[in-house]
Chain A
């Protein structure tokens, strides 16, 4: 299987989405770029923080994210979710279905559950737990992002460099989450750019 590398922008935006709605389940998509069998997670597009089990707006957002991704020569390559209950780190039935919809448009799509316990300032690893579809089931990839379970299939998942965690923590400390806007927010105010979140990109770049 190919190597999966997650950039600062992708990781930080997913984590800030969680930070903005700590009491809710949040979910979103990852945009990816594939070169020489290596998959880079370039960006994150936050989708929703309410009614996250329901499908209509997810369907629309997924379709629009695809249109946007194509315009940037990227693909929709991932789905992330962080549950309201921080002890829940398994992919739920409804999340599995939504992730399946992403799989339908990209057979290499990976689903990630964010483990909130690893978002604390003192954490030294990323909170992402990857799930890959094997025989129509989402299987957890142990050992991802340098976690303790060595030798698992998860070892192919890495953060781009050691600035990724530092950047994410810095922006959380600065309360940058106010600047992230998901599709739910966009539906209430179309002037909010949920696809790019450009101000945030700038903050991440200069962090």
Chain B
């Protein structure tokens, strides 16, 4: 019983979206009142179950959990937003919007409500309006790197690569040691043709995260691409390689990436290993 609670806590900690797993773990606890063993964390568990329930379309379960939370916290804004979310889940966006707007009237700095309003707009496909609201939000809360991340994603869906790159730069300024963000920035740069920058960022990734396969693949891909462009400069007009390293360095980087990838692929099955090795040779 307690290990279920531990697992649920781990999922909360990692912020992974695993609604099916959460419900599977929580169901026996709910039936036998095992949630109360979590002490003060019980309310976090209920909130977690609520969100997973609406994710899985289990509205009746969500409603039941909501009643439990409302009973314990009758005037909570945090619980009120869950009412907004369940309205969204059953397709009542106007009711949800009203709830979030009420929350903002009570307290205009309520971040939960601002975020839910933006998420609501996004889920109904009003991307232009979503971007506007998110930009306004970031004007006030510009150290919310997750919001910058969300804005970057929105720009990518609209193929606005330079704007997406700018957002990732903000994220990296706030979270410079997180290799995942450098990875994203490297891939946006590559997609824009900024190969010199992409290479730098992929190198940063493998600096920050040992034996990062995706990082080494990126290094190999970009190093070889820069070499090709230098050999036939007229073909790729949009490519930026001015800050790229010297050919000798590129060769060494490409070689290093190949070695690390071959080492990593010792853990792969034959099919994937052979395919990767073929690719590395080409």
A binds B: yes
Q: Is A166 an interface residue (CB 8 A)?
A: no
Give the contacting residue for B271; candidates A23, A56, A193; CB below 8 A.
A193
| Partner-contacting stretch, out of A87-95, A134-142, A146-154 | A87-95
Inside 8 A of B221's CB, which chain A residues have their CB? Answer: 56, 59-60
Which residue of A is nearest B213, CB measured?
A187
Which residue of A is nearest B56, CB measured?
A22
Q: Is A158 an interface residue (CB 8 A)?
A: no
Which residue of A is nearest B157, CB measured?
A53
Contact with A along B193-236 (1 / 0, CB 8 A): 00000100000000000000110011001100000000000000
Q: Are B271 and A68 in contact (CB under 8 A)?
A: yes
Give the contacting residue for A190; candidates B188, B267, B282; CB below 8 A.
B267
On whether A194 and B272 interact (CB within 8 A), knowing A57-B217, A64-B279, the answer reads yes
Inside 8 A of B282's CB, which chain A residues have their CB? Answer: 63
Which residue of A is nearest B187, CB measured?
A54
Q: Is B20 an interface residue (CB 8 A)?
A: yes
Give Cα A95–Cα B174 distance, bound, in whole angstroms: 31
Contact with B along A54-81 (1 / 0, CB 8 A): 1111011001100110010000000000
Which residue of B is nearest A69, CB measured?
B275
Give Cα A188–Cα B157 distance, bound, in whole angstroms: 24
Q: Is A195 an interface residue (CB 8 A)?
A: yes
Give Cα A188–Cα B217 distance, bound, in whole angstroms: 12
Q: Is A85 an interface residue (CB 8 A)?
A: yes
Give Cα A87–Cα B184 distance, bound, in whole angstroms: 27
Inside 8 A of A59's CB, which chain B residues have their CB? Answer: 221
Give the contacting residue for B269; candidates A53, A54, A71, A191; CB below 8 A.
A191
On whether A93 and B191 interact (CB within 8 A), knowing A195-B275, A196-B271, the answer reads no
Q: Are B272 and A53 in contact (CB under 8 A)?
A: no
Nearest chain A CB to B198 CB, angstrom units? 7
Which residue of A is nearest B215, CB measured?
A187
Q: Are B279 and A63 in contact (CB under 8 A)?
A: yes
Q: Are B268 and A190 in contact (CB under 8 A)?
A: yes
Q: Are B159 and A57 in contact (CB under 8 A)?
A: no
Q: Is B265 an interface residue (CB 8 A)?
A: yes
Q: Is B264 an interface residue (CB 8 A)?
A: yes
Give the contacting residue for A57; candidates B123, B214, B275; CB below 8 A.
B214
Q: Are B278 and A186 in contact (CB under 8 A)?
A: no
Inside 8 A of B159's CB, which chain A residues have their CB? Answer: 53, 93-94
Q: Are B156 and A51 in contact (CB under 8 A)?
A: yes
Q: Are B188 and A54 in contact (CB under 8 A)?
A: yes
On whether A54 and B191 interact (CB within 8 A), knowing A187-B217, A191-B268, the answer reads yes
Which residue of B is nearest A25, CB measured?
B157
Nearest chain A CB to B200 CB, angstrom units? 14
Q: Which of A94-143 contact B (CB under 8 A)?
A: 94
Nearest chain B CB to A46 CB, angstrom units? 14
The 7 A-B pairs with the shortest beta carbon distances in the complex, nearest first, are: A190-B268, A54-B187, A187-B214, A56-B190, A55-B191, A54-B191, A67-B278
30 examples of A-B residue contacts, CB within 8 angstroms:
A51-B156, A53-B156, A53-B159, A54-B156, A54-B188, A54-B191, A55-B191, A56-B187, A56-B190, A56-B191, A56-B218, A57-B187, A57-B214, A57-B217, A59-B221, A64-B276, A64-B279, A67-B279, A68-B275, A93-B159, A188-B214, A190-B213, A190-B264, A190-B267, A190-B276, A191-B268, A191-B269, A194-B272, A195-B275, A196-B271
Excluding A55-B191, A71-B275, 7 further A-B contacts by CB distance (< 8 Å) are A53-B156, A53-B159, A56-B190, A56-B217, A85-B123, A88-B125, A193-B269
